[in-house]
Chains A and B, each alone.
Chain A
Amino acid sequence: MISRREFLQASAAASAIAAASGLGPLGRAAAQQKLSQADILRFDPLGSLTIVHVTDIHAQLVPLYFREPEINLGVGDDRGRPPHLTGQQFRDYFKIASGSADDYALTYSDFQSLAKNYGRMGGMDRIATVIESIRAERGVNNVLLLDGGDTWQGSWTALKTNGQDMVDVMSALKVDAMTSHWEFTLGAERVKEIADKAPFAFLAQNIRSAEWQEPVFKARQTYERGGAKVAVIGQAFPRTPVSNPRWMIPDWEFGIREAELAKEVETARSEGADVVVLLSHNGFDVDRKLASRVKGIDVILTAHTHDAMPGVLRVGDSILIATGSHGKFVSRLDLDIRDKKVAGFRYKLIPIFSDAIKPDAAMQAMVKKIRAPFEKELGRELGRTESLLYRRGNFNGTYDDLICNAMLKERDAEISLSPGFRWGGTLLPGDPITFESLSNATAMSYPACYRMEMSGRQIAEILEDVADNIFHPDPYFQGGGDMVRVGGMGYSIDVSKPMNSRITGMALLKTGQPIDPARNYVVAGWASVNENVLGPPVWEVVSKHLADVKTVKLEPNTSVKVSGA
């Protein structure tokens, strides 16, 4: 386990207060309930180059609630290390006061009451304000804006416009480069079409044509900013064809491609780069391992696993940054470049408190225009919730409980399966469940809710397979995401065991009967990666269920028993 000192040494260079609270003076201001834009943006500048990172926005144009996970287990070398800390452990590690604005933004604790104090987070108009303010302070030619991907998917407007809404927004923000993952669920042709026309670079060193192993996208782009030559290498999500439908991108192969990446770094250096940045969608643990194996990368901007950390992690000479998701945060990294080397850096994870940051007028108008044709659909009230509805957590989330219950009822199934996606907002008790909230948790291009028979053995195989994608001790075997959610059944999981021995005690909740490997069960689920899956879109299934029950009140979910953590 690394020490906090090692972790926060970046901030220590800044100021004592920054080192103590991670988010700088914000903690104190927040404790006094006086969040101001100036406090949020305050930064003691360093050097002449600033890198701004946004990632995993999941097409969230407007502010939302997003509760961070209560359970986020690390395995192998990552056990108990950041970002695999939650609640009190997270507060202890980063010296965050309980009940503070930082606590609200970064942990799950007391979410319901803190959400009422501190309000929604994110919103592209607020993000625009922050980025423009950094550009105004530093000078446009000294700021590089990079997007880690998962940008064009996650909302109804993104689905209906084939990602065009987000492409327009990110173009207006003057993003310099992006990499990607969920973008590929728009299909190969659409991604190519956007990448070819966009004003920003679409970078991915690790995608090859299946036939000739030739690069599909540009790997690297060099920018002159802050008097330095900055090489940015893109790394798309290496497991896209396994985690998402391969038939949507049939001619492309992915993978981590360490050796090719090392070559890109080398070429960038030999062509005179002062700084090498990896704009990555590997996931945090994969990037931590990669940083120890591929030398010469100064900064790794991590993504995919939706981790938010108010400090950097150093692996060798590499600086790793985790910017969170859903537009809740923007990362600012100032670099002092001397003699073609990073001589110093200063970092801040800027929380986007939507009530404290003034919306940028032009972006506000743009978002309004994008949403106008859909406003009526988005605002449609489907029901109300008396429970806190959220997504994140390794084993379950209450929003998924709702989806699983809806599939059991509406599809008349014994068991339901809902994928462990990490995107989708949070609703507070008493909130209306609008179609917008539901689509934030379900809007994607393969939403069919199937109903089919599976043997008990097949169900066990699925649970083991997904568990190994999350809890394999070698990060290069981890796919990110959380455990598939189950309805109608329970199980026990020992995360420390190897594949095919983690899952035990599978049983039907209704009867308590063990799941029989040889018997067939009627299973409903959605987001199958197979082609030609039949069934209504899952949002229709949940909408119908909500029309029936009107009010959602969920019992605590105790169907998954976890050990070995």
Chain B
Amino acid sequence: MSQTANSRRDFLKTGSIAVLASILAPHMVLAEEADVKAALDKLYSGKTMAAGKIKLDLPQIAENGLVVPVGIDVESPMTDADYVKAVHIFADGNPLPNVISYRFTPDCGKASASARMRLAKTQNILAVAEMSNGQLFTAKQEVKVTIGGCGG
């Protein structure tokens, strides 16, 4: 994990992106992988997705499941002809799998952002980037949420 002070400040400067972080209530039914698939189908019904272009910045182990840092960075010239339109982040072990949706314009200059999300348990995080030409790119990583304790 390598969130730098810069990337967070940059994130705050790029005000033109929308963040929809889900707020979780306890005792909710957790999402399954099927729910993530359903959410994806709703957005991009059955379109092919390729791995790559999008860098997902996550800890391997969450220090605090309540506020897990998540950063994304998508490779793109961000010109009117070729830019990143949106990035969606899904957590397959959360009650509501769609954790964050970012929307970008060429004026953003770069398609990178970071935020904090709450994770209910150890699970996979999936990020999907939608390019202006309609292509879709994904990245996936597991984040371990541990009970903690002990230690040498």
Contacts and interface: CB of A to CB of B under 8 A. Distances in A.
A480 B150 CA distance: 9
Contact of B1 (A210, A257, A304, A419): A257
Interface string A299-337: 000001110000000000000000000000000000000
Given A255-B1, A255-B63, A257-B2, A461 B147 contact: yes
Contact of A304 (B3, B63, B152): B152
Given A242-B63, A254-B63, A255-B59, A214 B150 contact: no
A420 B150 contact: yes
B146 to A, nearest CB: 6
B149 A213 contact: no
A243 to B, nearest CB: 3
Interface string A516-539: 000000000001110000000000
A432 B9 CA distance: 60
B150 A481 contact: yes
B61 interface: yes
Contact of A239 (B8, B61, B69): B61
A503 to B, nearest CB: 14
A484 B150 contact: yes
B53 interface: no
B4 interface: yes
A452 interface: no
Interface stretch (A39-47, A264-272, A462-470): A462-470
A422 B152 CA distance: 5
A404 to B, nearest CB: 15
A419 B149 contact: yes
Interface in A437-495: 461-462, 465-466, 468-469, 476-477, 479-482, 484
A214 B5 contact: yes
B150 A421 contact: yes
Decide if the interface of chain B is mainly helix, strand, loop or mixed: loop
Nearest to B67: A210
Given A212-B8, A260-B2, A477-B144, A253 B63 contact: yes
Interface in A199-255: 208, 210, 212-214, 237, 239-244, 246, 253-255
A244 B1 contact: no
Contacts of A241: 63-64
Interface string A48-59: 000000001000
Interface in B1-33: 1-5, 7-9
B64 A423 contact: no
Nearest to A304: B152
A529 B148 contact: yes
A528 B152 contact: no
Interface residues of A, number: 48
B151 A239 contact: yes
Nearest to B114: A213
Contact of B5 (A213, A242, A254, A306): A213
A461 B152 CA distance: 20
A259 B2 contact: yes
B147 A465 contact: yes
A203 B39 CA distance: 46
Contact of B150 (A254, A255, A419, A476): A419
A304 B7 CA distance: 32
A242 B146 contact: yes
A163 interface: no
A482 B149 CA distance: 11
Interface centre among B8, B63, B67, B149 (most CB of A within 10 A): B149
A283 interface: yes
A465 B132 CA distance: 43
Nearest to B151: A243
Contacts of B5: 212-214
Interface in B67-83: 67, 69
A237 B152 CA distance: 10
Contacts of B135: none
B8 A481 contact: no
Contacts of B59: 255
A482 B151 CA distance: 7
Contacts of B151: 181, 237, 239-240, 243-244, 419, 421, 479-481
Contacts of A255: 1, 59, 63
Given A213-B4, A476-B60, A469 B152 contact: no
Nearest to A254: B63
Contacts of B4: 213, 260
A242 B148 contact: yes
B145 to A, nearest CB: 10
Contacts of A208: 3
Interface in A89-140: none
Contacts of A213: 3-5, 7-8
Contacts of B8: 212-213
Given A253-B63, A255-B59, A477-B61, A466 B3 contact: no
A237 B150 CA distance: 13
A461 B5 CA distance: 36
A242 B2 contact: no
A246 B64 contact: yes
A466 B149 contact: yes
B49 to A, nearest CB: 27
Interface of B: 1-5, 7-9, 59-61, 63-64, 67, 69, 144, 146-152
The 3 closest A-B pairs by CB, nearest first: A243-B151, A480-B152, A259-B2
Given A208-B3, A420-B150, A480-B152, 5 more contacts: A56-B152, A241-B63, A305-B152, A422-B152, A484-B149
Interface of A: 56, 150, 181, 208, 210, 212-214, 237, 239-244, 246, 253-255, 257-260, 283, 304-306, 419-423, 461-462, 465-466, 468-469, 476-477, 479-482, 484, 527-529
7 contacts: A239-B151, A243-B149, A257-B2, A466-B149, A469-B150, A484-B150, A528-B149
